Amino acid sequence: MKNTKRTVVNIVVHVFLAVMAFVWLLPIFWIILTSFRGEKGSYVNSFFPKTYTFDNYIRLFTDRNVLNFPQMFANTLFIAVCTCIISTFFVLSISFCMSRLRFHFRKTYMNMAMILTLFPGFMSMVAVYYILKALGLSEGSMIRVALILVYSGGSGLGFYIAKGFFDTIPKSIDEAAIIDGATRWQIFTRITMPLSKPIIIYTVLTSFIGPWVDFIFAKVICRANAQYYTVAIGLWNMLQKEYIHSWYTCFAAGAVIISIPIAALFIFMQRYYVEGMAGAVKG
């Protein structure tokens, strides 16, 4: 009697999970199908395509006239690599200072950071644009520099996770090193950093992914300069009225192409996030 009840519950649970997983994967499945769709145009009246083709992917990388996808890809990659280097340095430095050093300004900085993060991020976007313009960074190839600065400029505010990680490294290690004559700079580079692999990888990946998925700042700063568009604006443009009819299936192909590496990085990153949460020195 008890066993049958357990079996029934188990069946119900697994069916429920299967239905849920289906609902969650449906959009992903549909976009992959659409990226291989042979029929032209935007909306069609069947879920499954009638013919399958690779043309959408080929066109995405060869049609450079209207929406130059390879160029956008190169732009975003360049911006992402630079942002990633600067932000990682900023985040790790600030986190180390907040966690390991004790100085007058520390508490003030932490309170200030908490208040600043409560403002809507792009409230200051218009102002940022005019500052960039005053610095001469709003035209031509300087747009790339401008985007890098915008993405990495405020990164010093996001120190909580890395600080939490550094806090778990025992202070006694630092004290022992200081007795042996090490400077704090040496502690930072030779002791803390080698112990912090998961959180470094996590920081690198989050700041690398940032520019790929942001489109608000990119749109305001690039405006009509199509040759500096990032992938996100490009994909968004493909769904606008002017382009949607001829670019709909290419959008699907682009979405798949971008999602595969980002998803892989995300899943990879998640592992290090979990490791980072578990702390540096395991007991």
Partner 1 sequence: MRVKNSKREYSVWAALTKGDWATKLSALVMGLGCAMHKQVVKGILIFAVEVAYIFFMVQTGIGCLAQLPSLGENETEKVWNEAKQIYEYTQGDNSLLILLYGVAVLFVTAAFIIFWRIQMRESYYLQRRMEAGMHINNFREDLKSLGHQNLQIPLMTLPMVGILAFTVVPLVFMISMAFTSYSKEGDHLTLFDWVGFANFTRVLNLHGNIGRQFWSVLGWTIIWAVFATFLNYILGMILAMIINRKDTHWKGFWRFCFVLSIAVPQFVSLMIMHIMLQPQGAMNVILQNLGLIDSPLPFLSNAMWARVTVIVINLWVGIPYTMLQVTGILQNIPVELYEAAKMDGAGPATIFRKITLPYMLFVTTPYLITQFTGNINNFNVIYLLSAGGPTEVGDTAGKTDLLVTWLYKLTIDKQYYNIGAVIGIFTFIVLSIVALATYRNTGSYKNEEEFM
Query: Is residue 101 within the footprint of partner 1 (CB under 8 A)?
Result: yes
Query: Is residue 31 within the footprint of partner 1 (CB under 8 A)?
Result: yes
What tokens does 237 get? 């443009």
Note whether 143 and 222 are within 8 A (CB).
yes
Nearer to partner 1, 154 or 226 (CB): 154
Interface residues for partner 1 in 60-89 (CB under 8 A)? none
Q: How many CB atoms lie within 10 A of CB 283?
A: 3
Query: Is residue 116 within the footprint of partner 1 (CB under 8 A)?
Result: yes
Amino acid (one-letter) located at 109: Y
Task: For residue 221, report the phi and psi dihedrals to the nearest 5 degrees.
Answer: -80, -35
Q: What is the separation of C-alpha 158 from the centre of its chain, rounded to a whole number of angstroms?
A: 14
Provide the minimum distance between the beta carbon of 83 and partner 1 in the complex, in angstroms, as a whole number: 12
Query: Is residue 103 within the footprint of partner 1 (CB under 8 A)?
Result: yes
Query: Is residue 188 within the footprint of partner 1 (CB under 8 A)?
Result: yes
How far apart are alpha carbons 72 and 233 in whole angstroms? 9
Provide the minimum distance between the beta carbon of 30 and partner 1 in the complex, in angstroms, as a whole number: 6
Of positions 84, 94, 201, 222, contacts partner 1 by CB under 8 A:
94
Nearer to partner 1, 57 or 90 (CB): 90
Using the Cα atoms of residue 40, residue 46, residue 49 and residue 50 in order, give the sign of their dihedral. negative
Here's the x/- map for partner 1, 221-240, by CB under 8 A: it reads as -----------x--xx--x-
What tokens does 202 get? 């996590």
Here's the x/- map for partner 1, 200-219, by CB under 8 A: it reads as ---------x--xx-xx---
- Residue count of the chain, please give it: 283
Paired residues of 37 in beta bridges? 52
Interface residues for partner 1 in 238-257 (CB under 8 A)? 239, 248, 251, 255
Using the Cα atoms of residue 110, residue 114, residue 120 and residue 124 in order, give the sign of their dihedral. negative
Interface residues for partner 1 in 146-165 (CB under 8 A)? 149-150, 152-157
Provide the minimum distance between the beta carbon of 210 and partner 1 in the complex, in angstroms, as a whole number: 11
